[in-house]
Homo-oligomer: A and B are copies of this chain.
Amino acid sequence: MKQSTLFTKTQKESPADEVSKNAELLIKAGFINKEMAGVYSYLPLGLRVMKKITGIIRDEMNAIGGQEIVMTALQDQALWEKTDRWDDKKVDIWFKTKLKSGSEIGLGWSHEEPLVAIMKNFISSYRDLPTAVYQFQTKFRNETRAKSGIMRCREFVMKDLYSFSRNEAEHEAFYEKAKEAYKNIFKRAGIGHLTYLTFASGGIFSKYSHEFQTVTAAGEDTIYIDEEKGIAVNHEVLTDEVLAQIGTSREKLVEQTAVEVGNIFTLSDRFSKPLGLKFKDENGEEKNVFMGCYGIGPGRLMGTIVETLSDDKGMIWPESVAPFRVHLLALGEDADARDEAEKLYTQLQAQGIEVLFDDRTAVSAGEKFADADLIGIPWRVVISPRSLKDGGVEVKKRTEEKGSVIKIEDFIASLK
């Protein structure tokens, strides 16, 4: 894409009303727009990152047999009353509204209830199990505080997968697969080295749930990391009994601030029982379906990448989620250098390499460099009369201080 046609522009000033680094950088670089506290639109560069992230997650969910659907925001009161999650005293993050008829309806903040209602149409026998269903869908949560940029929103896309099994053993087998899929996601998104499988409270359904916690000062959680084992413990379950069970001890643990980028949870019959999701087993005996749920917020993941991988000049996107792979900068008004840049742009596009081409005229080299650093595309490639005189293009990785001039053909070959 040519940057001269991109409708967004970078801003020099930081937004006055943001305290979080992720929102500050993303707004300055034109990736997102704040509609109100905790409510952000995704502009072209931001949406490109979101699509890369959701692509990775979809891939991993499909790999463990997840089937994709999309449920709705509008939620029926009667359904949620059956699980005792309608009352605002029980769940304090509901947004509620009314149909013309006067009936109160809610905006979904999670989707166990409607999915169980759907599955009742399709699950009746052990032959229908196990199965797993997921969606990317917009959740609404009436948060009291929303000051963490895109890491805690009142409206946000969530990937929520739900598993349906015959019994606990079958559930455990899927749960372990999901755990690995989640590890793959954070690794592929470039924050695997900062992200720990963390033992957390399991509620009434299970001994533990598992969070994936990424170490960052922007987080809201405190975790205790056993670096040797590569696991962590959430402060809420930090007891000697728990530490013994998972084979670690207090002296091995290091306290860190972290953000929960994913959560997997055993639900057992918490929802299948009150909503009547049953199946007949091999002996014709009726049983409750055994469930699990598995959540990731792609926006929170994007915000976490910004928080952890930026520097004082701007963002640093891993190639896997970058809005473009190459940022091509044409410097100066020299016609030959401009022609070479246009040619390289065409060549890269022909090879399917995503490139943002800073073809803007009347913008100084300094401004172009500053924009490139702020936007954070992995490879910066400069064409100027000087680079051509030196034999090609100046190639610099966003993570490196200095670039080097290489032949244009060598640069293209290096990207393959």
Contacts and interface: CB of A to CB of B under 8 A. Distances in A.
Interface residues of A, number: 53
Q: Copy number of this protein in the oligomer?
A: 2
A407 interface: no
A128 B5 CA distance: 8
Chain A interface mostly: mixed
Nearest to A119: B7
Interface string A115-140: 00011011100001001010000101
A6 interface: yes
B35 A74 contact: yes
Contacts of A73: 73, 138, 140, 155
A18 to B, nearest CB: 14
A36 B76 contact: yes
B155 A35 contact: no
A52 interface: no
A71 B35 contact: yes
Contact of A122 (B7, B41, B75, B119): B7
A20 interface: no
A41 B134 CA distance: 12
A371 to B, nearest CB: 14
Nearest to A76: B36
Contacts of A167: none
Contacts of A30: 122
A239 interface: no
A237 to B, nearest CB: 29
Interface string A249-275: 000000000000000000000000000
Most chain B beta-carbon neighbours within 10 Å: one of A35, A47, A121: A35
Contacts of A43: 69, 118
Interface in A67-84: 67-76
6 contacts: A35-B71, A41-B114, A44-B68, A44-B69, A99-B154, A100-B143
Which 3 pairs of residues, A with B, have the shortest CB-CB distance? A41-B71, A95-B97, A97-B97
